[in-house]
Chain A
Amino acid sequence: MKKSALRIFAAATLGLALLAGCSTVNTVEPANPQARPNRVDDKRIITDSDLNDIAYVQNVYETTVSGNLKRVQVTIRNLTSTVKNVNYKFTWFDGQGIVVDSPMSLYQSVSIEGGASLPLTSTAPNPKAVDFKLELLGSVRR
């Protein structure tokens, strides 16, 4: 009697997990990639440890585009087994540490599958923008 109850519980849990979208991504990539990215040392301030599982920052790369504009790529990985929504915003600063206002600085939403990694990119609004900050925020939907 106890065994059958346990089986029903396990089946129900599995069903719920499947309904909730518990599936993770498998990936394949070159074992020896040819790319030699310019890695940036980063400083992280974690105020939401749950979000750090949903959007764990794997690496930060930097390059230059259009002659004199900095471009950064922050790759995040969803360490959980369910699809999640993450909001993010890049802000750029000039050489004096003052924010560079731009219509390109705004919160955007991305959906990231369980176990998947996702590159978030931003291009500096002008050549004076030298530093950036990435804000990550969980879903605020009501």
Chain B
Amino acid sequence: MKTSPLFLAVLPALLLAGCGSPPNSAQYVDPNGPRTIVSLNQIDIQDFNGAAATMTQSLLNSGVLEKAPTQPAVMAISRITNDTGQQFDTDYLIKNIRVALNNSGKVVTTTTTGLGGKAEDPLARDAGNMQAFMQGQPAPSRIPYYSLSGKILASTAKADDIYQRTYTFQLSLTEIASGNAVWEDQKQITKQGKQPAVGF
């Protein structure tokens, strides 16, 4: 059977199209999938999601959450420092961790106790205080058992025309009663290349 030269010329294009070539016009991609954009000079959404997943699993695997006297343990979110030079909300990391821990049934996060006395949900705190007052009781005690703090760092290297950027996600879980860090971990993500790419 004779193969047409035209067919041979078109075949690579057909194969590429079948394997999902990048779009010319905008389309939706799964933020948890492998076809997101990989940047060199910033933390991408998949980096936050991956770091959060890895560190949540590390915390669950450690077994420290089982040691809290009441289950699920109550955790407060303390300072999460962004030392990367890139502007972003650290909730891109922390919210994923909170959701996963909440789903695990091991931890609940307080929204009425926060850094510097600020409540994430002031309405809930005020309503709780009001309810206690109306019932003639003292304001409810909101001392969490654990506190989560951390830092995000960045470092850059360059050789010839290849850039490398490493982001370090550090987290500590402190047992408030003792003041000791009962779990600590860090996750590093290193990206290397000349330019951003679609997919990984």
User: Which residues of A, 18-72, contact B by the 8 Å Cβ criterion?
Assistant: 65-67, 69, 71
Q: Is the CB of B100 within 8 A of A104?
A: yes
Q: Name A104's contact: one of B38, B57, B105, B197 (CB within 8 Å).
A: B57
Interchain residue pairs with CB less than 8 A apart (20): A66-B60, A66-B65, A67-B66, A87-B34, A87-B200, A102-B103, A103-B52, A104-B56, A105-B32, A106-B49, A106-B50, A107-B32, A107-B33, A107-B34, A109-B200, A126-B103, A140-B200, A141-B38, A142-B21, A142-B198
Does B99 belong to the interface (CB within 8 Å)? yes
* Cα–Cα distance between A73 and B78 once the two chains are bound (Å): 32
- Which residues of A does B touch, CB under 8 Å? 65-67, 69, 71, 85, 87, 89, 102-109, 121-123, 125-127, 137, 139-142
Query: What is the interface size of chain B, counting residues whose CB is below 8 A from a CB of the partner?
Result: 35
Chain B interface residues toward A at CB < 8 A: 19-22, 32-35, 38, 46, 49-50, 52-54, 56-57, 60-63, 65-66, 96-97, 99-100, 103-106, 197-200
The answer to whether A103 and B104 touch (CB under 8 A), given A141-B199, A141-B200, is no
Task: List the 5 shortest-distance A-B pairs measured between CB atoms, nearest first.
Answer: A106-B32, A140-B199, A104-B53, A103-B96, A107-B34
Q: A26: shortest Cβ distance to chain B, in Å?
A: 24
**Do residues B197 and A108 form an inter-chain contact, with CB atoms below 8 A?**
no
- A91 CB to closest chain B CB (Å) equals 11
Given the complex, which residues of B lie within 8 Å of A103, measured CB to CB?
49, 52-53, 56, 96-97, 99-100
